[in-house]
Amino acid sequence: MKAPGKLAALSLAALLVATACGGGGGGGAPAASGPKPLRMTVWTTTEAHLKLFDEIAEEYRKTHPDVGKITFDPIPFESYTTTLTTQIAGGKAPDLAWILESSAPDFVSSGALAPLKSKIENVSELIPTATRLWEKDGELYAYPFSTSPFGVFVNNDLVKAAGQKTPRELIKAGQWNWERAAAVNAAAAAKSGKSGLVIVNFDYKAWDNLATVWGGWGAKAWSDDGATCAFNGPEMTEAMTFLHKSIFTDKAMPGPGTTADFFAGDATMAVAQISRAALLKDATFDWDLVALPAGPKGPYAVIGQAGIGVLKKSPNAGPAADFLAYFTSTANSAKLAAYFPPPRRSQLTADTLAKTNPLLKPDQLQQVVIDGIAKGVVKPSHTGQAELAQTVRAALDPLWKPGADVKAVLDGVCAKIQPMLGA
């Protein structure tokens, strides 16, 4: 019998199509008279992020008396898409929603989102690589408000206490690679009794975050056309063998069931995006942010992306699209750039980003964000991603124990998902 979460995941694509077929803007329940409240689902609970969102919303309402309270509704990241699906199914869909890059193919292809191209200010300024996931037939269905490469946050105090070179020193020596990173984290964890490297939001569930590591081996979850499983390819096998050794032999990464908060000083390094820098405002340790270590295939970058879409069936779809246009205007995009790298060419410079990212230095922004966007690939996504994600997660479970047969586990992943990938 399938678990309830699996059922919700399985229903995503079909549900979105049903939502789209139910009607366009105004196709849901009749809108109430008077000012129209708007609700946007988000997955951040960071106080600084929500404060900025509220400030932008209040400014908008000053000149739009037809819009009532604008609520930003946080949903836990690990259950975000499933919860959003449940809300849509229950007739309680938000007016606007953040959408994960992994869910983009389903949302965009379903027709559940309202077209936005005519609404977005200076739409021609948006970088094509940032909008690719959110387009269909020349139309834009979500604004890629955050196009954020992953970097490595470092607790230099823990690194130095273990007698190791810092990542920045290793970069200068041309030695910043995954093998050295694992060695530094293993030594620091052994010395401090804390954890080594954590991959934020992975927690042995969100396997697509491991793309931040396996990209260094040139590994992919599936072929570029999405039709063939690549989990059991030689590149992925080598990358997952490295990860398994780092976890269970070298103790360079915390194992299953261990929670370590880098931003509270409990880990040596963390793979995350720059939006997390806000958590270091009052840090009591010396920290740095550097690009991902090079892998056997050389330097690389991986991008996590999120778009903001308007649910077409919302009775407030029109006002929601107007607010989205304001929220993502050139001026507000510059404000949001403090946490979420923008897709606008004019704002992707180290000097520009530094103005709204006082915790980060221009060279950190250049090396991690700007260079990362230029050469990075987006985390894996596919139509039917929700079902795929659940299936891959379950098939990978045997890998997360000592003595696992890496190749056999990865063969098992492909056996499970290949029938789901067919053209």
Residues 382, 421 contacting (CB under 8 angstroms): yes
pLDDT block averages, 10 residues each, the chain of length 423: 37 58 46 82 92 97 96 91 87 94 88 94 89 93 91 98 98 98 98 97 93 97 93 98 98 96 97 88 95 96 93 93 97 89 87 81 89 84 84 97 98 96 70
Residue type, 173: A
How far is C-alpha 390 from the chain's CA centre? 17
Sole residue written with tokens 């840090």: 283
* 202-230 residue pLDDT tens: 999 999 999 999 999 999 999 988 899 99
pLDDT of residue 9: 42
Residues 99, 381 contacting (CB under 8 angstroms): no
* 122-174 residue pLDDT tens: 999 998 878 988 999 999 999 998 888 899 999 999 999 999 999 999 999 99
**H/E element holding 74?**
strand 67-74
In angstroms, the first-to-last Cα distance of the chain is 27
* 41-73 residue pLDDT tens: 999 998 989 999 999 999 999 999 999 999 999
Q: Would you kindly state where each structural domain of the chain is located, as residue ranges?
A: 4-149+303-377, 151-299+384-421
How far is C-alpha 24 from the chain's CA centre? 28
Q: Do domains 4-149+303-377 and 151-299+384-421 have the same CATH topology?
A: yes
CATH match for 4-149+303-377 among 3.60.40.10, 3.40.710.10, 3.30.70.1150, 3.40.190.10: 3.40.190.10
Which is nearest to 413 in space by CA: 229, 238, 240? 229
Residue type, 139: E
Please give the model's pTM, rounded to 2 decimal places.
0.78
Q: Which CATH class is domain 151-299+384-421?
A: alpha beta
Pull the structure tokens for residue 353: 């980003």
Mean model confidence pLDDT for the chain: 89
Residues 337, 349 contacting (CB under 8 angstroms): no
